[in-house]
Amino acid sequence: MTEDTPPKISSIAIILEGNLVLDEIPTHAQALCLLFGLIYALHLDYPKGEAQQAAHSLPAAARADFRNLKKAVLDRMGFSPEDHRRRFRETTLTGEDRPFAYAQRLTDMARRWLQPEIRSAAAVVEQVVLERFTAGLPADTASWVQCHRPTNLDVAVTLAEDHLAQHPFTQQQKPEPAPSC
């Protein structure tokens, strides 16, 4: 399965505010109709808060594609793979942790970052190389590349080369400040 291939759906359910409301719905279309009916009948206002702001920040045409909407909401809420990568790299063993719990937390964070369920082994390797590539760049160039959220190594290389062409870097001089995102 690739990033563009959706996972096989084995069951459809509706969960509202953490509670299973309907289960074993036969089709996506029926689930969507039932969900809208529940939202209307219960006078719910979804999406709410940050998710609503993320949805409204998209053009109307982009909002119609669930993948765009999901990405915007997850990015806004801090659940992008980049956020999980950062949490993975910053996590340390605390005084209350047992090594087993710490290892489990790291494993969970790595899975959320690298997404091995939906990525091939090559894509996982590329993600790790992308992170190391970015970390090895001069600070301003790394910031420039990260703020553009490259989806693969080729895009990151192009961004870095373009930035370094505009802001030359040598070991003897400090890099020029990069424009902010």
Residue 93 lies in a domain: yes
pLDDT in tens, 57-87: 878 777 777 777 777 777 777 677 878 888 8
Residue 2 has pLDDT above 50, yes or no: yes
Q: First and final CA of the chain: distance in angstroms?
A: 33
Domain boundary, last residue among 78, 99, 127: 78
Same domain for 118 and 132, yes or no, is yes
| Claim: this prediction has a pTM higher than 0.85 | no
Residue 42 lies in a domain: yes
Same domain for 99 and 154, yes or no, is yes
Tell me the residue range of the domain where 21 lies: 1-46
User: In terms of C-beta density within 10 A (0-12 exposed, 13-18 middle, 19 or more buried), how is residue 157 classed?
Assistant: middle
pLDDT in tens, 134-161: 888 998 999 989 888 898 899 999 999 9
Domain boundary, last residue among 30, 55, 78: 78
Counting residues of the chain whose pLDDT is more than 70, the rounded percentage is 84
Same domain for 120 and 91, yes or no, is yes
pLDDT in tens, 5-37: 666 677 888 887 677 888 888 887 888 888 878
Same domain for 145 and 157, yes or no, is yes
